[in-house]
Amino acid sequence: MLSEYDCWMQKRTVESPAGLVLDTVYGEAGGAVALQAGEEFRLGVKRLLGFSPAVRPGNPDVGGKPGVYLGTVAGLKPRFGFPAEKLADGGFFIRTEGESLVIAGQDEPGILYGVFHFLSLLARGKAGGSLDIREEPVSPLRIINHWDNLDGSIERGYAGLSLFFRDNRFDYDRERIRDYARMLASVGINRLSINNVNVRAAAKLLISEEYLGEVAALADVFRPFGIRLLLSINFGAPWSQGKLPTADPLDPAVAAWWKDRAALVYKYIPDLAGFLVKADSEGEPGPFQYNRTHVDGANMLAKAVKPHGGEVIWRCFVYNCVQDWRDQTQDRARAAYDHFMPFDGKFDDNVILQIKFGPYDFQVREPVAPLFGALKKTRHLLELQITQEYTGHQIDMCYLPWVWQDIMEFDTATGPNGRIRELVRPYREGVSSIEGFAAVVNVGRDANWTGHTMAQANLYGYGRMAWNPGLSAPEIAREWSELSFGTGQVADTIADLQLRSYPAYEKYNAPFGVCFMVTPNTHYGPNIEGYEFSRWGTYHRADAQAIGIDRTPSGTGYTGQYSPENAAMFADPARCPENLILFFHRLRYDHKMKNGETLLQNIYDTHFEGYDEVATMLETWKGLKGSLDGAVYGSVLGRLERQLVNAREWRDQINTYFLRRTGIADKRGRKIYE
Amino acid sequence: MLSEYDCWMQKRTVESPAGLVLDTVYGEAGGAVALQAGEEFRLGVKRLLGFSPAVRPGNPDVGGKPGVYLGTVAGLKPRFGFPAEKLADGGFFIRTEGESLVIAGQDEPGILYGVFHFLSLLARGKAGGSLDIREEPVSPLRIINHWDNLDGSIERGYAGLSLFFRDNRFDYDRERIRDYARMLASVGINRLSINNVNVRAAAKLLISEEYLGEVAALADVFRPFGIRLLLSINFGAPWSQGKLPTADPLDPAVAAWWKDRAALVYKYIPDLAGFLVKADSEGEPGPFQYNRTHVDGANMLAKAVKPHGGEVIWRCFVYNCVQDWRDQTQDRARAAYDHFMPFDGKFDDNVILQIKFGPYDFQVREPVAPLFGALKKTRHLLELQITQEYTGHQIDMCYLPWVWQDIMEFDTATGPNGRIRELVRPYREGVSSIEGFAAVVNVGRDANWTGHTMAQANLYGYGRMAWNPGLSAPEIAREWSELSFGTGQVADTIADLQLRSYPAYEKYNAPFGVCFMVTPNTHYGPNIEGYEFSRWGTYHRADAQAIGIDRTPSGTGYTGQYSPENAAMFADPARCPENLILFFHRLRYDHKMKNGETLLQNIYDTHFEGYDEVATMLETWKGLKGSLDGAVYGSVLGRLERQLVNAREWRDQINTYFLRRTGIADKRGRKIYE
């Protein structure tokens, strides 16, 4: 029986790989992570093969007995002779040597990741025969961001209350947090911020003695899994908390306050990864308040954490959120590039910019932000959103690795090998390098972690893609489905459903990259003009003839932030990808699209199709009745039924909106309400 | 100096009426209200003339000494000889007899109202010379509804937290409640419901011993002012609170539960006026849940309170709030009439229906509901809203007696003398009679009670108009302004501002009665399509050619609910009042209005004008600088400045919306944003 709680780490009985002695594990003497690796091997084998191997940590028999050898490359090299070149941190070898299985990590996390990799192979029936695997993460930083508030609520959370907090206290089930850490480590996550980037109310006190003991206790739970914590901080803390007259980053008293504060924090959590900062963004305090730059702000904080080996992750989600809709000269899409590109090379070496993948805000479809490929002398990360803020609130099924794959494959055309996935690498000054990923997570206290059981695939997929951005969405769907549902027809069907879900969602959503036709605040369901006259800089300006913003040089000039090749491509309606054409262009409804139909007819068509595809997904799911655990079947069924209602609203509101604007009926005569 | 707290009962020095001996008050032996009348006379004279008369209650000198004589008509008749015909309850005579002032009430509240009437004359310099006044309320029931929640919040409250509750406890300043009761009594209010009609959470326990002692204590504060309390109850209480398996009104156990409950409530508050019920409305429980009628529900409750002299006030705000916008056959405007008209004559004699003035929901401009004039065998009230839910949240200045006057003057054409104000009278079976008014109040803990000091006029005006629906909005504005600001140029200017405020507000709001172009949920500021695809039954269906709902017989048939004359008038675009034309008709933008301009041009014109009028109001206010208390000046100034921002948003969003829909520019060439 499927356990929703166990996600992709289901208990099941698989065949033991022939010829391997797995009942004794010899572990190298090591730290907590190496120890945990042995324990995870034991638990995994118990879960999949039904017996509990003896684990002998710190006492590896390298004398020749057959068994499982877990250790670092350095430790195991004398006997097993690994290649000379160094793996990336977290990399590992898996080899069979006679009856022995050898898992050698470049470091302790590498051992742990190797164990999880082997268990994944084992669960999917791929651990048989001779193994000779070399694997390493492409990106050094694979980060989860929690937007959890201390009162227990989660900003943009759709799976219950916070795993960590309630009623302004740390309040968690330690075993559950261990299970969570295990899941994350199994897909390679190595950093985790525990609190919302909007740091308000009690959360400001996380960096005070009021809470630091409890932060340290939580760090203890994650540490054996190779996960280091981050704390989101409030830039205004010296003023609001420290009672200084200012939080000006160039004021020596402010810098001194942060220095002292960092020392206190690191006294409690010496391996804290650092601070995550949302400054001058959507009302949060920041250096602009004091006429200082983001370089001033970030570097001041960086100097405070530097003595402790900490880093400052500084978000680039900085834009004018009190824009006047009447003003057509401003363009929110330009903001991150305009704010940060001039400072390339000015940030300290322990500052890492965190840049949302697109210029807006996690929309269903938006272009890749032009800072990627452009920044050459600044450490930076690419930020994604696993939680389904704009992608269906974990009511609608929406498999996100599809869109992430499109991001990874985007060619920045800023040089040879300029695809996003090709830019992911450890930082080297002068070379555009994305050091990794951060993503807002989709978990909460719901029994199945993610509300929608199918949304577990997005968490899994994020980890996998952060580890290796060259993995394809179908490969990941297949892995996840087999791990969750076993290797059979059901898993095939569910993997296929996942792959169908994102295209369907995109079709019934805002058309062709126009963005933000969503219900304000909640961001679920359609509201075509909901953001049209708002202060958020998110307009489509549909009138009776045309829709969209001209972002070419004849308009806001946003396309000019890209490389010349991309700038030319996006600015040319004939070459601009059609799924983004309304992001870059203002088009008449009679604009002819590549399929020969008008833009308007394409809007109608995609919206009828999107709904129909959800209806088909629902039928597919109903076909699984009896092949699945009843509770899982029922909970997903209920969500698909709600999704169909939502898809119908999107279809009808979008189509009615454009019919009313244009008076032009669907050429295929389908029902559009007047 | 003006005290905002004192509203229309300002302390000031006025001239004492010549020839009257006011320093001794002879009061009849009576109850608490008669006693309070004496005390109010003393306080009022102290406030206005600067001395405190001696009050001799229960020991009236009718031996001939000059002084002030307060008593009932019956008690004072032997000496002063009043006419034989009986006044309505609460009526009074005021006479000067030589050096004596005689205030004779038909009953104890009549004495109190007479005292307040005299004080109002005194404050406005109109108490001189010989007085011979006969005054009585036109409507027996003059009710204030609080939408206060026990947590202290107020649904649609814009003046701070609840006066009564906080943190699920009764929590009030007894002196402040006395001041509030005094204000209300001074304008004739005689009933007050203390809690929100949406009875949720702890409020359900108001009718339990948990809270009844405190309800009784609050009733004690209001009682001397002639104000009886009402409690809003939850129709589902037998189920949710009584743990019965049902709340079916025809289940004997349910009826018995309510009977016992009523007995308990009346043990604590023997003069409770009764229960106020919102049933089957916007998610509240009601008889429909059990396939019963509203007659079944209301009469069952009526029988429970009947032995105690209580009444059941049953709201008619019953409509389908999960409508599908695609369905053009349903019309929310029809709901109240369709639900209640068939049951005329079926309600018990202690059931009173409470009917919102219009068929929608307190819109800036909507027609008078067709139940008025039609119901002939059912007791009923007309419900208004003093709190500015759709009329500017007490940020925008909006003098509501203007719209109330329009309601009062509306001729139902259901018989001779069919104007609303002519139908207001005590109930007599077979004759359409509106027994009075209920209104959602606009007060909270703000120092000036109503947030916007100018909004005090709406509370004052409601009381005055409920007492006498024949009073005009300008008369009331003048009274209020003189009472609040003295008799001079400042009062004239402010009264004039009040009168300009509603027409300006209407102009910049949703045009020509189309309603609901407002921000969903909050109901402040424009959102042209905010309710267009919602479940609330509130649509305008604007397309490129036309806007509005056809409610004539060729459409939803709503006009057919009116008398034949009115039905014909509303159904004819040439005769339908233009301020309601988009409520009743779907019109092309090029429809010619009476001024010869198109509908579209009229929309543009009114919206430019509305904004300009607010700008002028602001200038007028600035002209008062120095003539007014600085705090009052500043707080109103700040609100007028915010109103100007709001008016600009309305103007521009409305105009841009229609420009985008039609592509037709303003013929006067004013700026409309594209």
One-letter amino acid identity for B380? H
| Strands annotated E in B11-163 | 24-27, 54-57, 68-72, 92-97, 100-105, 132-135, 141-145
Q: Is A529 at the interface with chain B, CB within 8 A?
A: yes
Query: Is B282 a catalytic site residue?
Result: yes
Q: Is B22 at the interface with chain A, CB within 8 A?
A: no
Residues A663, B528: C-beta atoms closer than 8 Å:
no
- B21 by DSSP, 3-state: which? coil
Residues A649, B542: C-beta atoms closer than 8 Å:
no
B60 pLDDT tier (thresholds 50, 70, 90): low
pLDDT above 80 for A63: no
Q: Note the pLDDT of residue A620.
A: 98
Angle (CA) A559 A565 A566, round 5°: 40
Q: In angstroms, rounded to a whole number, what is the distance separating the alpha carbons of residues A338 and B200? A: 50
Q: What count of other Cβ atoms lies within 10 Å of the Cβ of residue B447?
A: 13
Chain A neighbors of B543, CB-CB under 8 A: 659-661, 663, 674
Residues B529, A528: C-beta atoms closer than 8 Å:
yes
Q: Is A522 at the interface with chain B, CB within 8 A?
A: no
Q: Is A671 at the interface with chain B, CB within 8 A?
A: no
Q: Quote the mean pLDDT of chain A.
A: 96
Higher pLDDT, A83 or A381: A381
> Structure tokens of B170?
């009764």
**Mutation for testing the A interface, residue in B550, B660, B672 having most A CBs under 10 Å:** B660
| Burial zone of A126 (CB within 10 Å; 0-12 exposed, 13-18 middle, 19+ buried) | middle
* Beta-bridge mates of residue B277: B233, B314
Q: Is A673 at the interface with chain B, CB within 8 A?
A: yes
Query: Is A674 a catalytic site residue?
Result: no
| Burial zone of A184 (CB within 10 Å; 0-12 exposed, 13-18 middle, 19+ buried) | buried
Min distance A636 CA to chain B CA atoms (Å): 25
B59 pLDDT tier (thresholds 50, 70, 90): low
pLDDT above 90 for B57: no
Chain B neighbors of A529, CB-CB under 8 A: 527-529
pLDDT above 70 for B1: no
Q: In angstroms, rounded to a whole number, what is the distance separating the alpha carbons of residues B92 and B615? A: 44
Query: Chain A: residue nearest B660 by CA?
Result: A543
Of all residues in chain A, what percent carry a pLDDT higher than 70? 99
Q: In angstroms, rounded to a whole number, what is the distance separating the alpha carbons of residues B438 and B386? A: 10
Q: Determine contact, residues A558/A359, Cβ cutoff 8 Å.
A: yes
Q: Determine contact, residues A551/A422, Cβ cutoff 8 Å.
A: no
A79 pLDDT tier (thresholds 50, 70, 90): confident
Residues B544, A663: C-beta atoms closer than 8 Å:
yes
Chain A neighbors of B530, CB-CB under 8 A: 527, 530
A282 pLDDT tier (thresholds 50, 70, 90): confident
Q: Note the pLDDT of residue B582.
A: 98
Q: Note the pLDDT of residue A401.
A: 98
Q: Note the pLDDT of residue A464.
A: 98
The partner residue sitting opposite B543, judged by closest CB among A527, A545, A660, is A660
Q: What count of other Cβ atoms lies within 10 Å of the Cβ of residue B594?
A: 9
DSSP A286-311: -GGGGT--HHHHHHHHHHHHGGGT-E
Query: Which tens digits make up the pLDDT trace of A286-321?
Result: 999 999 999 999 999 999 999 999 999 999 999 998
Q: Determine contact, residues A520/A527, Cβ cutoff 8 Å.
A: yes
> Structure tokens of A164?
């960590």
Query: Which tens digits make up the pLDDT trace of B87-129?
Result: 999 999 999 999 999 999 999 999 999 999 999 999 999 999 9
Q: Note the pLDDT of residue A514.
A: 98
Q: Is B85 at the interface with chain A, CB within 8 A?
A: no
pLDDT above 80 for A60: no
Query: Is B389 a catalytic site residue?
Result: yes
Window 297-356 of A, Cβ < 8 Å to B: 325-326, 328
A257: Cα separation from own chain's centroid: 33
Considering the candidates B4, B28, B366, B389, report the single residue annotated as catalytic: B389
Q: In angstroms, rounded to a whole number, what is the distance separating the alpha carbons of residues A453 and B508? A: 49
Q: Note the pLDDT of residue B29.
A: 81
Which residues are CB-contacts of A6 (< 8 A; sequence separation ≥ 6)?
Answer: none
Phi and psi at A223, nearest 5°, equal -55, -45
Query: Chain A: residue nearest B673 by CA?
Result: A326
Q: Note the pLDDT of residue A128.
A: 92
Query: Chain B: residue nearest A543 by CA?
Result: B660
> Structure tokens of B620?
């007028």
Mean pLDDT on B426-433: 96
If we measure between CA atoms, which residue out of B101, B65, B187 comes closest to residue B441?
Answer: B187
Which alpha helices (DSSP H) does B441-563 contain, by range? Answer: 456-467, 473-485, 489-508
If we measure between CA atoms, which residue out of B372, B373, B403, B397 comes closest to residue B385?
Answer: B403
Q: Determine contact, residues B144/B189, Cβ cutoff 8 Å.
A: yes
The partner residue sitting opposite B661, judged by closest CB among A527, A544, A653, is A544
Q: Note the pLDDT of residue B282.
A: 87
Considering the candidates A361, A366, A482, A605, report the single residue annotated as catalytic: A361
Cα–Cα distances (Å) from A346 to A315, A607, B176, in that order, read: 16, 47, 61
**Mutation for testing the B interface, residue in A324, A529, A550, A657 having most B CBs under 10 Å:** A529
| Strands annotated E in A146-227 | 165-166, 169-170, 191-193
Q: In angstroms, rounded to a whole number, what is the distance separating the alpha carbons of residues A412 and A380? A: 15
> Structure tokens of B575?
């005769």
Min distance A524 CA to chain B CA atoms (Å): 13
Q: In angstroms, rounded to a whole number, what is the distance separating the alpha carbons of residues B358 and B584? A: 13
Q: Which residue has the tokens 């009917």?
A: B355
What is the interface size between A and B, counted as CB pairs within 8 Å?
58
Q: Note the pLDDT of residue B144.
A: 98
pLDDT above 90 for A62: no
Chain B neighbors of A542, CB-CB under 8 A: 660
Residues B326, A662: C-beta atoms closer than 8 Å:
no
Chain B neighbors of A652, CB-CB under 8 A: 326
Phi and psi at A514, nearest 5°, equal -75, -25
Helix axes A473-485, A108-123, angle to 10 degrees: 70
Cα–Cα distances (Å) from B669 to A544, B62, B593, in that order, read: 20, 76, 20
Query: Which tens digits make up the pLDDT trace of B599-641?
Result: 999 999 999 999 999 999 999 999 999 999 889 999 999 999 9
For the CA atoms of B441, B446, B450, B452, the dihedral, rounded to the nearest 10 degrees, stands at -150
Q: In angstroms, rounded to a whole number, what is the distance separating the alpha carbons of residues B61 and B29? A: 11
Within chain A, what is the greatest distance between any pair of CA atoms?
A: 83
Query: Chain A: residue nearest B654 by CA?
Result: A533
Angle (CA) A464 A467 A469, round 5°: 80
Q: Note the pLDDT of residue A64.
A: 77
Query: Which tens digits make up the pLDDT trace of A113-131?
Result: 999 999 999 999 999 999 9
